[in-house]
Every structure is written in C-alpha cells, then in structure tokens.
Amino acid sequence: MLQRNSKENYYLDIAETVAERGTCLRKKYGAIIVKNDVIVSTGYVGAPRGRKNCCDMNYCLREQMNIPRGERYELCRSVHAEQNAIINASREQMIGSTMYLCGVDVKTGEYVENSSCCQMCKRMVINAGIEKVVIRDNKENYRVIFVSEWVENDDSLGQTGY
C-alpha cells in the first residue's frame, strides 16, 4: 500500500524547499501560508530587495559580534521568512490560514529544533489573522501552535525566536 506523507509534512517539505533560497549565513528558514489547501504565499530569509545579502558580503554582523540566537535582531540585515510570506499576501487571504515554518542550520545542515517565531514575527502573524503556525523540529516531527495562545499569553511574545 502506498504510504502518503501527512499533509503537515507535505507543506513543511515545501517550506524547507523555500528555505533553500535563504541568504542568511546562520539559519535558513522558509515559510508558507496555506488556506483551504491552497498556498497563498511563501517567504524566506533575505535582505530587503535591492540590498546586499549576508551571503553576498560573506559575513554576518550578528555572528561577528557573537550575538546569541534570538537577540539583537535590529542588527540583522535580513527580513525573516514569516515577514516575507506575510508581506507577499493580502490579509483577506491570511485570515484563518496556517503558516508552515522550517529552519535549517547553515553550518550543520540539521533542522533547527524547538524554534519559534521571534517577538516581531509573532506580532505580525497575529495581525495577519493567521490561525496557527506549524513548525518543523525534524523530518517527521512538528509542533502546532495556535496563534490565539500568543494573544492570550502576552508573556509568550517575549520568548526567544530563531
């Protein structure tokens, strides 16, 4: 009998492929927004259009300054995958949708386990009207986060992102 990939892992595989376009020297993330089984938008980590990417400059300021994961994003040149996916969709398309997020560590090639949206991305996801975020931890396992939990637990907005 044919073994089918779960729908969640199907969309996470697509998010992983989107991540391959990422230009960050630390982590490559891909995000896709899906509503009614239709991909509404995709996004990956990269500098704003027209600006140089870290991979083009061959350095990462946050890496040079030894800044830990989840801190001092104002020093980062990149727009996050979630932000790019949201920017590329209309709010009407995103209301009630699901965002799928997959991250890969550039140095090890391993999945980024236990990652989460950063504080700013959480705010954007909430305002976009996205209902849930599915985050890949490894090839088979993922977590489903209901965005309403971020709204109800304001303290969770301060937790470390990727």
From residue 27, alpha-carbon distances to 53, 66, 84 in Å are 13, 15, 15
- Looking at residue 162, its pLDDT comes to 53
Query: Cβ distance 85 to 22 under 8 Å?
Result: no
Q: How far apart are CA 4 and CA 152, in angstroms?
A: 35
pLDDT at residue 1 in the model = 76
Token couple for 103: 């991250």
pLDDT truncated to tens, each residue of the chain (162 aa)?
778 889 999 999 999 999 999 999 989 999 999 999 999 999 999 988 999 888 888 988 888 888 887 788 888 888 999 999 999 999 999 999 999 999 999 999 999 989 999 889 999 999 999 999 999 999 989 999 999 999 998 765 455 555
Q: What domains sit in the chain, N to C, each tagged with a CATH number?
A: 7-158 (3.40.140.10)
d(CA 145, CA 149): 8
* This prediction's pTM: 0.90
**Backbone torsions φ then ψ of 133, nearest 5 degrees:** -125, 130
Residues near 155 by Cβ (< 8 Å), separated by ≥ 6? none
